């Protein structure tokens, strides 16, 4: 594939998102640079997945901007990919799933087999390459979803809790893949709940709570002593949440 100009840094400016009358993402301002591994941390409902989807263009913000640094000639959509928590598999073989992604990107048919075989080998899917994707185990499906994204050589890879409900060996293999993908220069922006995983993978951490970024810092700084009290409480293993009370302000506990 030809080398394209970078679509990074990605700038998020005053991003807001509302659904069902609820303000779910509020006043997000941040920047994602090339080659890093960003981990979005925070409790359930913090807005991590929403932020990923807004960045990837799957959701439209109420206000604010997602600004890619590419010029007008480049479609940033074609230089990013996403792996979801529950992998969506096309009802065809693992091989054909990857082939479909390449065909959508307009990759020449003659070039595809080598690219597919290479990514299948790197993700350890050789044995199941010609099996129906929907009958693969969850771990295999997740690796296939990563292979399908990786083969596109994305500059940015969004991952929404890619190891949720996987056992330790499967989690380990996914984490190794993430390191390999990152080593090739792809920026990884990923959500997770597992602090251990965040320590193993992150170069930078964004801590979110109730739709806001409470802290954004390097992983070293974050894990050695975050500035934000809630982030510290989260790291200490305290349970942080809030209750909604009718006709009253939300109460933090």
Q: Side-chain half-sphere of 220: how many Cα atoms within 13 Å?
A: 0
Given 81, 116, 166, 230, the residue binding another protein (CB under 8 A): 81
Which residue in 227, 228, 154, 203 sits closest to 36, CA to CA?
Answer: 203
Stretch binding another protein (CB under 8 A), from 1-9, 34-42, 54-62, 245-253: 54-62
Residue 202 and residue 191 in contact, taking contact as beta carbons nearer than 8 Å: no
SS3 74: coil
Q: Under the criterion CB under 8 A, does residue 244 sit at the interface with another protein?
A: no
Q: Under the criterion CB under 8 A, does residue 137 sit at the interface with another protein?
A: no
Question: Which CB sits closer to another protein, 189 or 198?
Answer: 189
Given 4, 77, 172, 179, the residue binding another protein (CB under 8 A): 77
CA 64, CA 83: separation in Å to the nearest integer? 24
CB of 74 to another protein, least distance (A): 13
Q: What is the DSSP string of 95-115?
A: HHHHHHHHHHTT--TTTHHHH
Q: Under the criterion CB under 8 A, does residue 23 sit at the interface with another protein?
A: no
Say if residue 180 is exposed, middle or buried (CB neighbours under 10 Å; 0-12, 13-18, 19+): middle
Residues in binding contact with another protein, number by CB under 8 A: 22
CA 95, CA 100: separation in Å to the nearest integer? 9
Q: Under the criterion CB under 8 A, does residue 164 sit at the interface with another protein?
A: no
Q: Considering only residues 105 through 134, tell me which ones interact with another protein, judged by CB under 8 A.
A: 105, 130-132
Given 28, 40, 46, 82, the residue binding another protein (CB under 8 A): 82
Q: What are phi and psi of 121, to 5 degrees?
A: -65, -45
Given 1, 19, 118, 135, the residue binding another protein (CB under 8 A): 135
SS3 131: coil
Q: Under the criterion CB under 8 A, does residue 143 sit at the interface with another protein?
A: no
Q: Under the criterion CB under 8 A, does residue 101 sit at the interface with another protein?
A: yes
Secondary-structure percent of the chain, ordered helix, strand, coil, rounded to 5: 35, 25, 40
Q: Under the criterion CB under 8 A, does residue 84 sit at the interface with another protein?
A: yes
Given 56, 153, 210, 214, the residue binding another protein (CB under 8 A): 56
Which residue in 99, 167, 93 sits closest to 133, CA to CA?
Answer: 93
Q: Under the criterion CB under 8 A, does residue 75 sit at the interface with another protein?
A: yes
Given 4, 14, 100, 225, the residue binding another protein (CB under 8 A): 100
Residues making contact with another protein (CB under 8 A): 56-58, 75, 77-78, 81-82, 84, 88, 90-93, 100-101, 104-105, 130-132, 135
């Amino acid at each position: 594939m030809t080398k394209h100009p970078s679509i990074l840094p990605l700038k998020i400016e005053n991003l807001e998102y509302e659904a069902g009358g609820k303000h779910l993402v509020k006043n997000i301002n941040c920047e994602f640079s090339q080659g890093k591994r960003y981990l979005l941390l925070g409790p359930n409902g913090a807005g991590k997945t929403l932020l990923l989807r807004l960045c990837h263009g799957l959701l439209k913000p109420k206000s604010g901007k997602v600004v890619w640094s590419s010029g007008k000639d480049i479609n940033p959509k074609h230089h990013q990919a996403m792996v979801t928590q529950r992998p969506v598999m096309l009802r065809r073989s693992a091989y054909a799933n990857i082939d479909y992604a390449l065909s959508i990107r307009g990759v020449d048919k003659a070039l595809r087999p080598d690219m597919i075989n290479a990514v299948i080998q790197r993700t350890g899917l050789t044995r199941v390459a010609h099996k129906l994707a929907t009958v693969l185990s969850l771990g295999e499906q997740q690796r296939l979803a990563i292979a399908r994204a990786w083969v596109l050589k994305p500059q940015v890879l969004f991952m929404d809790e890619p190891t949720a409900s996987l056992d330790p060996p499967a989690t380990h293999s996914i984490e190794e893949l993430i390191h390999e993908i990152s080593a090739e220069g792809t920026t990884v922006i990923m959500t997770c709940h597992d602090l251990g995983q965040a320590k193993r993978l992150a170069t930078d951490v964004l801590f979110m709570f109730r739709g806001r970024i409470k802290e954004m810092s390097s992983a070293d700084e974050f894990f050695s002593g975050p500035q934000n009290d809630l982030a510290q409480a989260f790291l200490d293993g305290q349970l942080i949440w809030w209750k909604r009370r009718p006709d009253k302000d939300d109460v933090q506990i």
